[in-house]
Amino acid sequence: MTQRRKSKKTEAEPRRVNRRTFLAGAGAAACVGAGLWLRRKMFSKRDKTKAEKQPVENPALPAGEWRAVWVSYLEWTAMDFSSADSFRAGCVQMLENCAGLGLNTVLAQVRPFGDALYKSQLFPWSHLCTGVQGQDPGFDPLDVLLQEAHTRGISVEAWVNPYRLRSSAAMPPNLADGNLANTHPEWVCTVDEGLYLNPAEPAAADYVVQGVAELVQNYAVDGIHFDDYFYPTTDESIDAAQFAASGAGNLAAWRRENVTALVRAVHDTVKAADPTLRFGISPQGNPDNDENQQYSDVTGWLASGGGDAVVDYLCPQVYWGQGFALHNGSTRFAFENIVPAWLAYPRAADVALYFGLGAYRVGVGDGGSNENSLSGWSTGRALADQVAFLREQGAGGWALYRYGSLFGPEQTSLAAAECGALAAADGKESA
């Protein structure tokens, strides 16, 4: 397991620094707007396909297999935030279940909607804590989670959604006065009922980087994790003015540069705080969508290592089963095909490649046109079989989406069987 930073906290109150201090301590050069856009230009001139020739040691990567689970805002809605003790009890149960599966990492969503499940000077309290965005729950949920996880030898990576402020009119139901949608509406674009920071706004990107700096400076997290929510739409109108002002000739390439500039700045900020901290991203399993719909240069990120590193790892979401077929008959995304395809991409020696597995598919199926689209997910060991295949292919690890699909109120007898098979595969007793 990756070496964890020692926390200096002895109480629930995390070590605090003012905004200017943490920006300096985390590498101000990675956080200021001018530097961000300069790096964008520099990156566009780099060879993004050349992998490192010689092995490069990366202290952020675990010595063994990375075995993770996503704990999303959906899991938080089932937790009791009425007191620190009640929340702690829920965390203990969750972490014991994770340990029973042999997992070593929790990807905890701590900023789902431009808000925070921790004490922040930059983002309002999440409504998930009290029902009201901006309302202090009276304790620090992230600090509690870190204490209990680290006691059990489980790493915690802070999962941040960089751009999303609102997914619909009902989520969150009301935005705090301090939400960026209210304090900086000029940074925000609207897509259907959702509100998102505009990836073309350098000030918004810098604010995201500042938020990461705050996290890694104030909390003993083991890393920062982004999911696949980058550009919220392909609509050309959301950043037409910025694109025109840029003088760039290709919209898609320019948008990818926008995203990569943010990702690189986050990576640099994390490493400035502590080189042993991980920074990883979980893109969609379909690389075409990554590149051309969300404008994420995933192949370039994989191949960039050493001084040009952008991420420590990618964990594409390959949420399809064995034999999965599209309605046109294509089996490109069948698990046994898409995993080797990802592994075949040029990859720097110090960048890891993991795979996200669809625990939520258990008993439901993956919607493929193949006859076993449902039955293949009803064996009681679909996930364990996928893990075995990943190990045969030499993948560095895997993550389960999501915790609630295997445990808690959502657990079914089939989910329990999957947990037993996973535990057996990892040499653990069934939970």
- pLDDT tens string for the chain (431 positions)? 223 344 333 333 333 333 223 333 444 434 434 344 434 443 444 444 444 444 568 999 999 999 999 999 999 999 999 999 999 999 999 999 999 999 999 999 999 999 999 999 999 999 999 999 999 999 999 999 999 999 999 999 999 999 999 999 999 999 999 999 999 999 999 999 999 999 999 999 999 999 999 999 999 999 999 999 999 999 999 999 999 999 999 999 999 999 999 999 999 999 999 999 999 999 999 999 999 999 999 999 999 999 999 999 999 999 999 999 999 999 999 999 999 999 999 999 999 999 999 999 999 999 999 999 999 999 999 999 999 999 999 999 999 999 999 998 878 999 999 999 999 998 874 43
Tokens of 280: 């990883």
CA distance readout (Å), 29 to 24, 41, 209, 294: 8, 15, 11, 26
First to last CA, the chain: 22
Q: What residues make up the domain containing 288?
A: 19-45+67-159+199-425
**Residue at 109: amino acid letter:** Q
pLDDT at 411: 85
**Residue at 134: amino acid letter:** G
Pairing of strands 355-358, 397-401: parallel
Question: Could you tell me if 356 and 318 are in contact, meaning their C-beta atoms sit under 8 angstroms apart?
Answer: yes
User: Which region, left, alpha or beta, applies to residue 364 given φ > 0 means left and ψ of -120 to 50 means alpha?
Assistant: alpha
pLDDT at 45: 40
Residue 119, in any domain of the structure: yes
pTM of the model: 0.88
pLDDT at 408: 84
Question: Could you tell me if 289 and 39 are in contact, meaning their C-beta atoms sit under 8 angstroms apart?
Answer: no
**Residue at 420: amino acid letter:** G
Can you tell me the distance from the alpha carbon of 270 to that of 223, in angstroms, rounded to the nearest whole number?
Answer: 8
Can you tell me the distance from the alpha carbon of 54 to that of 60, in angstroms, rounded to the nearest whole number?
Answer: 18
Pairing of strands 105-111, 66-71: parallel
Tokens of 152: 């059990």
Residue 153, in any domain of the structure: yes
Neighbour-count burial of 411, counting CB atoms closer than 10 A to its CB (0-12 exposed, 13-18 middle, 19+ buried): middle
The CATH number linked to 135 is 3.20.20.80
CA distance readout (Å), 36 to 160, 283, 386: 19, 22, 39
Closest among 403, 301, 393 to 350, alpha carbons compared: 301
User: Which region, left, alpha or beta, applies to residue 392 given φ > 0 means left and ψ of -120 to 50 means alpha?
Assistant: alpha
Pairing of strands 155-160, 105-111: parallel
Can you tell me the distance from the alpha carbon of 187 to that of 205, in angstroms, rounded to the nearest whole number?
Answer: 9
Domain count, the chain: 1
Residue 392, in any domain of the structure: yes
Question: Could you tell me if 277 and 26 are in contact, meaning their C-beta atoms sit under 8 angstroms apart?
Answer: no
pLDDT at 16: 34
Question: Could you tell me if 72 and 66 are in contact, meaning their C-beta atoms sit under 8 angstroms apart?
Answer: no
Can you tell me the distance from the alpha carbon of 419 to that of 26, in angstroms, rounded to the nearest whole number?
Answer: 39
Closest among 222, 219, 315, 354 to 277, alpha carbons compared: 222
Residue 50, in any domain of the structure: no
Tokens 């960048």 locate to 351
Question: Could you tell me if 132 and 193 are in contact, meaning their C-beta atoms sit under 8 angstroms apart?
Answer: no
User: Which region, left, alpha or beta, applies to residue 12 given φ > 0 means left and ψ of -120 to 50 means alpha?
Assistant: alpha
Residue 120, in any domain of the structure: yes
Residue 7, in any domain of the structure: no
**Residue at 175: amino acid letter:** L
Residue 378, in any domain of the structure: yes
Can you tell me the distance from the alpha carbon of 357 to that of 352, in angstroms, rounded to the nearest whole number?
Answer: 16
Residue 53, in any domain of the structure: no
